[in-house]
Amino acid sequence: METTQTVVIGAGQAGLSVGYHLTRRGRPFVILDAGRRVGDSWRSHWSTLRLYSPAGYDGLPGMRFPAPPFSFPAKDDVADYLEEYAERFRLPVRSGTRVRRLSRDGDRYVVDCSVDGRDDRRDLRVECENVVVATGTFGRTPSVPDFAADLDAGVLQLHSSQYRDPSQLRPGRVLVVGASHSGGDIALEAAQSHPTVLCGRDTGQIPLPWESRRLRVAMPVLWFVWGHVLSTRTPMGRKEREAARHHGAPFTRVKRADLAAAGVERVTERMTGIHDGMPVLGDSRVLEVENVVWCTGFQQDLSWIDLPVTGPDGWPLEHRGVVRSQPGLYFTGLSFQSSFRSMLIGGAGADAQYVVRHLTSRSPASAQAESLSGAAGAR
């Protein structure tokens, strides 16, 4: 068993930003991450994924994104940037360490993990005063409707988190379910080689050619709106939070016209069930397809937190990341934690700073002496 003042769970942009702010305040902590390498959650996305946010808005605190401000980094560039960030600020990340259970023993938190070594797996328990959960904006558990199990065995099913490129698809028609960012991107790509249908509610589109010079003028305005208008401090923001968490976001780079030009059949009906092994849409139409790609998002699975922290919708009961019912427990990186910016790379730093300020005000600096053996150099 080891002890430290703060355990951060997750070494994505949110957890690393918390690490940056804790380091600046000289606080002892460790970041535990299930992945093999920092940035792996980005590396695992589909091959052609490029950010829709320009590089000038993709920096974490203390280090700008190393690309021209109005370029659009590829997913592996983001992964490498995160890895370099952790190295530059000597953040104590322990990779291959999955947290299996978070519980409490009096006023201390108990973090039980399994550590994947090269040849073995061992258990680790860390005790601490504070825990910051930074395990993903929407969670990491693919969200797929229950009726997916009734699809014909001959239909290839992939969740967007499993999709890499069209070579995975079987010859024949593709149904992409869910018409937000990933659905738009994947349908556009699949249509180059397969007849493709994209179904799902129309979540709108930002009326701006994304890679045009007009974005240079519009982006500062959008950034302001995403941070200060669509914020949990405004009624409009609180309404938008529900939509952002439970429905898709509007198209940015890929527009309706791009999909039409690529030959994607766009159906605004939702998929409602299965008939004889084939997908049924809301208008009762049965589609004969060979492939279904579920772009239906992710869900929070916080069942490993053995504390009453979630509401009926499965999301944590927190305010700007602070869990009032469990002093010392925090979340960061949640969709709409403080504003629309919270889910973006460029928004991670401000939310992390708020959480760290709160955390350091409750854990006096004198507790620094109680440092995790080896945490400072742990990688």
Ligand X SMILES: Cc1cc2nc3c(=O)[nH]c(=O)nc-3n(C[C@H](O)[C@H](O)[C@H](O)COP(=O)(O)OP(=O)(O)OC[C@H]3O[C@@H](n4cnc5c(N)ncnc54)[C@H](O)[C@@H]3O)c2cc1C
Cβ-proximal residues to 145 (8 Å cutoff; 6+ apart), any chain? 271, 296
Smallest gap, in angstroms, from Cβ of residue 31 to ligand X?
Answer: 9
- E-strand stretches of the chain: 2-9, 29-32, 93-94, 97-105, 108-116, 121-133, 141-142, 156-159, 174-177, 196-199, 265-267, 271-275, 278-281, 291-294, 298-299, 329-331
Shortest Å distance, C-beta 351 to ligand X: 9
**Contact call for residue 34 and ligand X (CB under 6 A):** yes
Residue 345 found at the interface with ligand X (CB under 6 A): yes
Site for ligand X in 153-212 (CB under 6 A): 181-182
The alpha carbon of 354 is separated from its chain's Cα centroid by a whole number of angstroms, namely 19
Site string for ligand X, 135-154 (x = CB under 6 A): xxx--x--------------
Residue from the set 32, 86, 188, 289 that interacts with ligand X by CB under 6 A: 32
Q: Which is nearer to ligand X, 52 or 280 (CB)?
A: 52
Q: Pick from 7, 8, 51, 191: which binds ligand X (CB under 6 A)?
A: 51
Within positions 73 to 112, which residues make up the interface with ligand X, using CB under 6 A?
A: 98-99
C-alpha neighbours within 13 Å on the C-beta side of residue 358: 22
Residue 35 binds ligand X (CB under 6 A): yes
Instruction: Give the 3-state secondary structure of residue 340.
Output: helix
Q: How far is CA 57 from CA 68, 69, 278, in A?
A: 11, 7, 43
Give me the least distance between CB of 352 and ligand X, in Å please. 10
To ligand X, the closest distance from the beta carbon of 158 in angstroms equals: 14
Q: Is 345 exposed, middle or buried (0-12, 13-18, 19+ CB in 10 A)?
A: buried
Question: Is residue 14 within the footprint of ligand X (CB under 6 A)?
Answer: yes
**Among 7, 8, 9, 372, interactor with ligand X by CB under 6 A:** 9
Give CA–CA dist 87/59, Å, rounded: 15
State the residues that interact with ligand X by CB under 6 A.
Answer: 9-15, 32-35, 41, 45, 49, 51-53, 58, 98-99, 134-137, 140, 181-182, 304, 333, 343-346
